[in-house]
């Protein structure tokens, strides 16, 4: 789940000497929980997951897949189990990356790296998918193929897109793709899903305004971004409503803008400022609405800068497409979850947070579901969040059931 789209990261300096001696567990001799705890001790940031990828590749290789692909979209790893017979290609995906957060839980397996931790539970998702790979290795597909994908850099929104754009992805070409994300504050093991948009599209817009400094006694001799910044702060809060009125009602669902940061001039009383910076996060239910909102935002910045004789520049980052669930794949998830006795809750609106699985479900049919992590579990990205180990075998069993029914 993307960091820019969940409430915030705290950083607390603390010594993180491991209290247990690290041993490298293997899929053949250790439990999936032990593997999760090992991964938790050695977290790596988005795009830098080299050790994690090496470890995962080693474990997958020991399961003798028909093909192992490395370096997908950076550090991504995929194992393919191929029946050699015609049939669908199914893909199950998880994420390799951790977050720049100092965890504060007191588990013996806490992160050994200061300021980096698996505070989104991707270590748990990896244990689930590794367990699934093991189950599939012991019960190989009778037709079609199954792909086990460990993608890099989910938190920045770059990983899944990089995987899909990697030339090696043509060897994968899934027909149907599945993923889950654990979700705190929901009943443990509850499966939450819907057809259509499951996670909203979002993107970050950074705006720079440039004028000219002046002596604070003679501000009229410079060009201050003050009024432009004030106008933009107001205008961005009104933009979603304006767009909804211009477009027919409810055509695009949710459209929102969150002002996340602004900054102007230097902290000195003698100078009238030249520079201002404003950061906003745009969020919509559909990719089409995102295009409208992005275009309207840039037009607003340009018009405001021109009005106040400022130069302006915009930069985009953390770009997530909407993650859209296919109706048939959603039904598969529901059937598999109910087979294993999980309560399934079908929601009527998408989650506002973003997930880069949207890049994968854009090139195949797909479904992502949220997996309740317990009502008392702190929110992901919080420093005291801990992944619920009970979900590991439960998640593996739901995915295996989907596999069993489809291949
Ligand atoms: Zn996540
Ligand atoms: Zn996250």
Q: 390 C-alpha to center of ligand 1: Å?
A: 18
Q: Please report, for residues 22, 48, 153, 165, 328, the alpha-carbon distance to residue 73 in angstroms, rounded to integers and kept in the order given.
A: 29, 12, 9, 7, 28
Nearest ligand by distance to the CA of 380: 2
d(C-alpha 381, C-alpha 5), whole Å = 10
Give the number of C-alpha atoms closer than 13 A to the C-alpha of residue 30, restricted to the C-beta side. Answer: 16
Q: 238 C-alpha to center of ligand 1: Å?
A: 30
Q: What is the 3-state secondary structure (H, E, C) of 307-343?
A: HCCCEEEEEEEEEECCEEECHHHHHHHHHHHHHCCCC
Q: What residues flank ion ligand 1 with Cβ within 5 A?
A: 1, 120
Contacts within 8 Å (CB) and 24+ apart, 395-398: 395/124, 395/125, 395/128, 395/180, 395/371, 396/32, 396/128, 396/129, 396/131, 396/132, 396/135, 397/340, 398/180, 398/191, 398/333, 398/336, 398/337, 398/340, 398/342
Q: 147 C-alpha to center of ligand 2: Å?
A: 23
For the chain, the farthest-separated pair of C-alpha atoms sits apart, in whole angstroms, at 81
Output the pLDDT for position 6.
Answer: 45
Contacts of residue 14, defined as CB under 8 A and 6 or more positions apart, other chains included, come to 102, 104, 114
Nearest ligand by distance to the CA of 382: 2
d(C-alpha 65, C-alpha 147), whole Å = 10
d(C-alpha 248, C-alpha 275), whole Å = 38
d(C-alpha 335, C-alpha 329), whole Å = 10
Q: 181 C-alpha to center of ligand 1: Å?
A: 6
Q: 160 C-alpha to center of ligand 1: Å?
A: 13
Phi, psi of 307 (to 5 degrees): -55, -35
Helix/strand/coil for 11? coil
Are 156 and 68 in contact by the 8 Å Cβ rule? The answer is: no
Contacts of residue 11, defined as CB under 8 A and 6 or more positions apart, other chains included, come to 100, 101, 102, 115, 383
Q: 121 C-alpha to center of ligand 1: Å?
A: 6
Low-confidence residues of the chain: pLDDT under 50: 3-21
Nearest ligand by distance to the CA of 155: 2
Structure tokens at 42: 């050695």
> Is the pTM higher than 0.85?
yes
d(C-alpha 400, C-alpha 382), whole Å = 30
Pairing of strands 365-372, 176-183: parallel
Q: 155 C-alpha to center of ligand 1: Å?
A: 7
Output the pLDDT for position 12.
Answer: 40
Contacts of residue 282, defined as CB under 8 A and 6 or more positions apart, other chains included, come to 202, 203, 204, 205, 256, 257, 290, 293, 294, 297
Q: Is the dihedral of CA 43, 47, 48, 54 positive or negative?
A: positive
Q: 95 C-alpha to center of ligand 1: Å?
A: 8
Q: 123 C-alpha to center of ligand 2: Å?
A: 11
Output the pLDDT for position 407.
Answer: 80
Q: 366 C-alpha to center of ligand 2: Å?
A: 20
The torsion angle over the Cα atoms of residues 375, 380, 383 and 386, rounded to 10 degrees, is: 60
Output the pLDDT for position 8.
Answer: 42
Output the pLDDT for position 251.
Answer: 73
d(C-alpha 405, C-alpha 270), whole Å = 72
């Amino acid at each position: 789940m993307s960091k820019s789209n969940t409430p915030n990261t705290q950083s607390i300096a603390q010594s993180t000497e491991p209290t247990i001696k690290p041993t490298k567990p293997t899929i053949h001799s250790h439990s999936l929980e032990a593997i999760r705890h090992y991964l938790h001790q050695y977290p790596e940031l988005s795009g830098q997951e080299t050790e994690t990828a090496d470890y995962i590749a080693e474990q997958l290789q020991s399961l003798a897949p028909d093909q192992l692909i490395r370096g997908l979209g950076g550090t991504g790893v995929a194992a393919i189990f191929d029946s050699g017979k015609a049939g669908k290609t199914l893909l199950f995906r998880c994420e390799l990356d951790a977050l720049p957060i100092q965890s504060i839980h007191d588990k013996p397996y806490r992160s050994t790296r200061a300021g980096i931790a698996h505070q989104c539970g991707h270590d748990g998702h990896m244990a689930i998918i590794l367990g699934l790979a093991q189950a599939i290795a012991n019960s190989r597909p009778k037709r079609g193929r199954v792909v086990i994908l460990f993608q890099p850099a989910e938190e920045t929104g770059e990983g899944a897109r990089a995987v899909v754009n990697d030339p090696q992805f043509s060897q994968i070409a899934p027909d149907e793709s599945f993923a889950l994300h654990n979700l705190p504050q929901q009943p443990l093991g509850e499966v939450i899903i819907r057809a259509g948009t499951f996670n909203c599209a979002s993107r970050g817009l950074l705006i720079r305004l440039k004028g000219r400094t002046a002596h604070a006694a003679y501000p009229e001799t410079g060009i201050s971004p003050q009024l432009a910044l004030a106008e933009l702060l107001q205008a961005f809060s009104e933009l979603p409503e304006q767009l909804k009125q211009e477009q027919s009602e409810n055509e695009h669902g949710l459209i929102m803008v969150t002002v996340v940061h602004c900054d102007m001039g230097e902290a000195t009383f003698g100078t009238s400022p030249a520079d201002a910076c404003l950061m906003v996060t745009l969020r919509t239910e559909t990719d089409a609405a995102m295009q409208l909102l992005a275009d309207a935002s840039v037009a607003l910045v340009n018009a405001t800068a021109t009005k106040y004789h400022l130069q302006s520049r915009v930069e985009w980052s953390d770009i997530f497409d909407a993650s859209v669930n296919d109706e048939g794949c959603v039904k598969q998830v529901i059937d598999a979850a109910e087979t294993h006795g999980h309560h399934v809750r079908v929601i009527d609106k998408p989650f506002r947070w973003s997930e880069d699985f949207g890049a994968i479900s854009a090139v195949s049919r797909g479904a992502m579901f949220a997996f309740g992590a317990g009502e008392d579990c702190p929110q992901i990205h919080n420093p005291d969040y801990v992944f619920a180990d009970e979900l590991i075998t439960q998640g593996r069993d739901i995915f295996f059931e989907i596999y069993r029914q489809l291949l």
